[in-house]
Amino acid sequence: MKTTLNPLAAALAMGIAWSLGLFVMTLIAVQTGFMGNALHLVEDVYPWYVVSSKGAFIGLVWGFMDGFVGTYILVWLYNFFVKKLK
């Protein structure tokens, strides 16, 4: 039996997880410098995001939108192929 997933539930979960993760990583990088180089790659992806206290909040918003939209599309495609391959 093939199971479909709820795209909204998955998208909300991933949006929250990614946004909080990026927020916390940014604050840690601001305080300690740890992961700073890796987060500079994120600066190239998200407009207005920088490794700073203000950037942590911008990353919170971008991370949620990115995680939400990307996961919603992925789960929608997964469900589409599950139905097609039955």
The total domain count for the chain is: 1
Question: Does 76 fall in a domain?
Answer: yes
Q: Which of 35-39, 47-51, 62-66, 75-79 has the lowest mean pLDDT?
A: 35-39
**Span 6-60, pLDDT tens digits:** 999 999 999 999 999 999 999 999 999 998 889 999 999 999 999 999 999 999 9
Q: Which domain holds residue 33?
A: 7-81
Is residue 80 scored above 80 in pLDDT? yes
- Can you give the pLDDT at residue 1? 67
pLDDT confidence tier of residue 75, bands split at 50, 70 and 90: very high
CA–CA gap between residue 58 and residue 45 (Å, rounded)? 12
Question: Does 36 fall in a domain?
Answer: yes
Amino acid identity at 71? T
Question: Does 2 fall in a domain?
Answer: no
